[in-house]
Amino acid sequence: MFHATQSLPPRPAEAHAIKVATPLPGTRIVCTSIGRGQAAWSLATGRPEATVNAWFLDLHHFQAARRGWDSAPNNLAAVCTADMPPGPYDLAVVPLTKAGETELSRDLLQQAFQNLAIGGRLVAAVDNARDKWLREQLAATGETVRVRPSASGDTIGYIVEKTRELAKVRDFSHRFVFRDRERLLTAMTRPGVFAHRRIDPGARHLLNAVDVAPGTRVLEIGCGSGCVALGIAARDPTVGVHAFDSAARAVECTRLAAELNQLSNITVALESEGNVPERGSWDLALANPPYYADFEIAERFVESARLALAPGGTLLLVTKQPTWYLEHLPRMWQDVAEELVKGYHLIEAVRP
């Protein structure tokens, strides 16, 4: 019997995508998700003869979906990778949210269309019944776009049948150069990576605030494009830096940038639960936690640092919203201090 994913209803756009995709033919199927893979589950259980891939970009979302798949059908596979598992597919299902990142949505749609076989169909849906943007993106393929409105009037779906390959394939990746002290460094980003096409001001403040002694062992928790890890590692080859993130593309970009800059003292891992090599032995943990999810992610970052650091090790994080940290850190950390720098708060704490 299916439990968590089945009892958790799909978000409106994914529910609409499921309804549109269900009557369409196809035995080689790929689905993205804005929830916990409900579209992939529904199609796999309804088509035992099909092979269904649920593709996730973030390991946390991947694991949340898998936890609900205790008795998943044998024809359903979930993957967490920087790029869609290669096709060809007969059917691709891409639910989107109107609040989503525009460039990432374009990237997902292009990958889905590219991986379709000729004659395959792309189903896309969005939680905006007045949508024009998604329809324009699909029309740009040069194919006919069939519209499937919802009965509820709060979502809209589309079907595009692939009759030819795309005339132009866009590269959404981006390299940029930033300076840390005396050295120019090259970073790489992709849609879905924090922060795409630039160094985030918070990351810049972290770099400016840190001086590390030779031989220091440094963690970057939630590395994004890895700018902080790159900067610290480039200052001294005896400093060891371990960067990790739950986003597959962030890990890919950080690893590629380490190679581009010839920094052999950086290791990178795909990780969503804060596991690090040699837990309890690190000297410094750096983090630029996201502000959303009511500080749930920030709490995971802080706990990861506490478990990873050696006694006397330091956590340094940057935020625009310091109150939660100043209220919670003193419960399990020592010497909690705050500094305001150009609208950002640098918060330091020492592991007992």
The neighbour count for residue 283, using CB atoms within 10 Å, is 18
Spatial contact of 347 and 328, defined as CB atoms under 8 Å apart: no
Report the side by side order of strands in the sheet with 28-31: 76-80, 51-56, 28-31, 89-96, 116-126, 156-161, 145-149
Fold of 4-161: Rossmann fold (3.40.50)
User: What is the reported pTM?
Assistant: 0.95
**Structure-block tokens of residue 300:** 């995971």
Closest CA to 105 of 168, 170, 166, 150: 170
Q: Where in the chain is the domain with CATH 3.40.50.150?
A: 4-161, 174-350
Q: Are strands 51-56 and 145-149 parallel, antiparallel or unpaired?
A: unpaired
CATH code of domain 174-350? 3.40.50.150
Return the residue matching tokens 């506490």: 306
Spatial neighbors of 287 by CB under 8 A, at least 6 apart, are 220, 221, 222, 301, 302, 305, 315, 316, 317, 318
Spatial contact of 8 and 26, defined as CB atoms under 8 Å apart: no
> Tens-of-pLDDT digits for all 352 residues of the chain?
233 445 689 999 999 999 999 999 999 999 999 999 999 999 999 999 999 999 999 999 999 999 877 678 999 999 999 999 999 999 999 999 999 999 999 999 999 999 999 999 999 999 999 999 999 999 999 999 999 999 889 999 999 999 999 999 999 999 999 999 999 999 999 999 999 999 999 999 999 999 999 999 999 999 999 999 999 999 999 999 999 999 999 999 999 999 999 999 999 999 999 999 999 999 999 999 988 778 999 999 999 999 999 999 999 999 999 999 999 999 999 999 999 999 999 999 999 9
Secondary structure (3-state) at 221: strand
